Amino acid sequence: MSTIALQTLPCGADAAKRLAARLGLAYGEIAVHRFPDGELRVAVAPATDTAILYAPLDQPNDKLITLLFAAEALRRNGAKRLVLVAPYLCYMRQDAAFHAGEAISQRAMGNLLATTVDRVVTVDAHLHRTPDIRTVFPGIEAENLSAMPAIAKALAAGGIDPATVVIGPDMESEPWVTDVASRLRLQHMVAGKTRHGDRSVAVNLADPALLSGRPALMVDDIVSSGTTLMATAKALRAMGATAVDAIATHALFPPAAIAAFTEAGIRSIRSTDSVPHPTNAISLDEILAAALRSELTTAHLPETTT
């Protein structure tokens, strides 16, 4: 019978511990040392037949090198199967070359990880025009989970005004907005967005009267600069929304930006724990554990350690 354990990059330790506990797995932290010249030394815990590697891949470049080194050590020490759990998966947004000479980061990252691990599990990957994440990772297993069940469950548990209108800040957010609104039996609408630059956008909503005198909840997959959220919040306030809150799967913006969100009229912003962030309010361990239980079917589970 094969063995299985979970190992994590240091940045994901808290969420990884919760996931390991939910799955009843042994837990280990990958050790990373940085030399003065910037190179890394990586050491893993003892290898098991199957190793689940937990890695939130925001600020990704050093983390990707760490993963490559960890995979090398685990394979050399007997790991037969590597499963990458990357709740936030980097470099997915560029799926085409829009100008001469541009790299297609999604393709490069997909090929790299497909030669490194045997399965990729992520959440709300920023895929744009790629309908199936399996096409990103040739020859291996890959799943793109939705955070919306966890988000809707958390909102329902905390209590939500039934008059709330769920708002998508752009057309790309429509699948998430529709899902959350359906689960909570709320009305929803999606804003139209015109982008004038990385930090300049204009938004419009088809039915402004729907917002008058009602609270609004913006739902999106990624918040990076927050420009779109702030523009949408200002528009919602101008249309008469009584309060504007925001929730996102991936909080990639600097914590200092929270003050600017408040100034733009956003009462609160919450995120999942896909990446460590002060706004984390929703754990993904339940949906991740459900996806990973297939790995436990034939595995012998060693005693959980810390």
Dihedral angle computed from the Cα positions of residues 92, 93, 94 and 98, in that order, rounded to the nearest 10 degrees: 160
Catalytic residues: 193
Closest of 111, 113, 118 to residue 65, by C-alpha: 113
DSSP calls for the chain: -EEEEEEE-GGGHHHHHHHHHHHT-EEEE-EEEE-TTS-EEEE-PPP-SEEEEE---SS-HHHHHHHHHHHHHHHHTT--EEEEEESS-SS-S--S--STT---HHHHHHHHHHTT-SEEEEES---TT-S-GGGTSTTSEEEEE-SHHHHHHHHHHH---TT-EEEESSGGGHHHHHHHHHHHT-EEEE-EEEEEETTEEEEE-S-GGGGTTS-EEEEEEEESS-HHHHHHHHHHHHTT-S-EEEEEEEE-S-GGGHHHHHHTT--EEEEETTS--TTEEE--HHHHHHHHGGGGTTEE-PPP--
Give the span between the Cα atoms of 125 and 143, in whole angstroms: 10
Residue type, 14: D
